Amino acid sequence: MPLPPPQRLLATPSWLLTQVAAAAGRRSRERCEAVGAARYHYAILCAVEEFGPCSQAEIGARCHMDRKDVAERVGELERQHCVVRCQDPADPRRKLVTLTDAGRARLEEIAAEIAVAQADLMEPLDDGERDALVAALQKLLGR
């Protein structure tokens, strides 16, 4: 059984958020790995599904990802036929990332695993507490 942390830490929101984020990250990573995916794959597929064809820079800005990580993960998704990169008709210097039918199916596969991770993480909370937590976190992020 793990030793309890100091009470002062248990009253520090930033410490608590960091601990919960680490636990949530582990759960999500494990579930994604179970289907051969990365959490960044999920983020990219979500962005392209919701916002339509996007540049890699836009994906990075929307998902708070480093440009290099976006480029690497988009390349992986392209090799898996989940996305295609095409020249932007409005700016020939730019490529747009577009979701394919295989990408939509892959997104649903990963989303199912992410849902399991979320349910596991939120299991101690009732529905009202879950909704309140999500709303509070969105408020902290300015959403």
Q: Residue 58 sits in a domain of what CATH number?
A: 1.10.10.10
What crossing angle do the helices spanning 39-51 and 13-34 adopt, rounded to 10°?
90
Mean pLDDT of the chain: 95
Residue 1's pLDDT is what?
Answer: 82
Whether residue 2 is predicted with pLDDT greater than 90 in this model: the reply is: no
Tell me the pLDDT band of 143, cut-offs 50, 70 and 90: confident
Residue 16 lies in a domain: no
Evaluate whether 130 touches 91 at the Cβ level (below 8 Å).
no
Evaluate whether 98 touches 86 at the Cβ level (below 8 Å).
yes
Residue 126's pLDDT is what?
Answer: 97
Residue 127 lies in a domain: yes
Reported as a single tens digit per residue, the pLDDT across 55-66 is 999 999 999 999
Tokens for 44, please give them: 């990219």
Q: Say whether pTM exceeds 0.75.
A: yes
Residue 3 lies in a domain: no
The parent domain of residue 131 ranges over 22-140
